[in-house]
Structure 1
C-alpha cells in the first residue's frame, strides 16, 4: 500500500513539473516556426479582411471570444463572424505584435499570450486605445498546430496609485 502511495506522489510531482516544460530545442524551434506561420496567416488575413483565411488557423470546433466579448464558435462561425466585422466594423488596418509569451502545457498543447495593437491605414504606428491582450490555446493534431481557442481583451492600464487612498467602508 505504501509503495502505491509513493508511486502516485512521484507521478503527480512529475506531471506538475512537466507543465510549462519546453520540449527539446530542435522541436521547440520547429514549433516556434509553426506558431509564427499561424500568426502571419492570421495577420495577413486581417490586412486582407478575409474572414475565411483568418478562421483557417483554427480547429473545426474552435472557440473565439472577440474584443467586444462576442463568442464565435466553430471554424465556420469564426469565418462568418470575422467577415461580418471586416465588412461592417473593422477599419482598413493591420495588426502589430508587441509581446509574446509561450507556455507549453504538454508536448501537444501550448498557451500563447500576446500583446498586440491595431494600426489603421495609412498610419504607421499603434492607434490610441488599440492595445489588446489575447490568449491563444493551440494543439497539435496529426502533426499540425491549430488554434483551439482565442480570447481577446482590450488592454487599458489602470494608472498607479498616487499614495495611500482610503477605501470606503461598505
Structure 2
C-alpha cells in the first residue's frame, strides 16, 4: 500500500533559503571551534535534538551544555563536514531541511565512511531570525547493499542486544 499526500510548498524566499544555509554553516563553524554555547544558540529555546546514537537532548541550554562536554573531551579538535541537500517550506516561517555530512576526527583530513550521516532539521523563523527547532541525525548504514553491509549490520545489532545499556556483560 502506498500512502499519498498532497504537498503544497509555500513560495520560496531566496533570502530565507540563504539565511537557513548560513545558519547551517554557522553550526559547522561553532563545532570546529568547540564552542557549545554558540552551537546551542543556533537552536530554539525548546528545540529537540536527537543524536546518531538515539540520545535525545531537549532545549537550547541542554544542547549547549551537552555539546560543550563533548567538545571538551571526546570530540575535542574535531570538525564537521556538511551539505544541505534540500530545503522545503511546508508553511510560512517553517522549513524542512535535509543535510548530509560527517565528522572529521582530530588529526584526520576527511571524515571516515563510518561517520557518514544524514540529518533532518526543522527550522523556524522567529524574532531571533531562523533557528533550528528540531535536529535528527542518523548514521548511514544501508543494509540492503550486499552481503558485507548486511553482515556488519547484523553483527553490530547482535552486539547491541548483548552489551547495550541495561545488559549485563559477561
Q: TM-score range by the shorter chain?
A: 0.7 to 0.9
Q: What displacement does 1:82 show?
A: 0.7
Question: How many residues are paired up?
Answer: 143
In structure 2, the partner of 1:23 is: 11
Match of 2:66 among 81, 96, 99: 81
Q: Name the residue aligned to 2:55.
A: 70
- In our comparison, the structure showing a higher alpha carbon Rg is 1
Q: Check the 8 A contact 2:34/2:76 in 1, yes or no.
A: no
Deviation string, structure 1 residues 1-58 (Cα, Å, up to 9, x no partner): xxxxxxxxxxxxxxx452xx2514xx2x111210121112111110011111001110
Whether contact under 8 Å (1:98, 1:117) holds in the other structure is no
Structure 1 residue aligned with 2:28? 43
Aligned pairs for 1:9-158 within 5 A: 16-18=6-8, 21-24=9-12, 27=13, 29-98=14-83, 100-142=85-127, 144-158=129-143
Is 1:102–1:112's contact at 8 Å kept on the other side of the alignment? yes
Q: Secondary structure at the match of 1:129?
A: helix
RMSD: 2.1
Identify unmatched segments of 5+ residues in structure 1.
Answer: 1-15, 163-170
Deviations 1:102-157 (A, max 9, x none): 12211211110111111224332222311011110011123721110101111122
C-alpha deviation, 1:98, in angstroms:
4.4
TM-score w.r.t. structure 2 length?
0.75
* Residue segments in structure 2 that go unaligned for 5+ positions in a row: 1-5, 148-170
Equivalents in 1 of 2:21, 2:110: separation in Å? 21
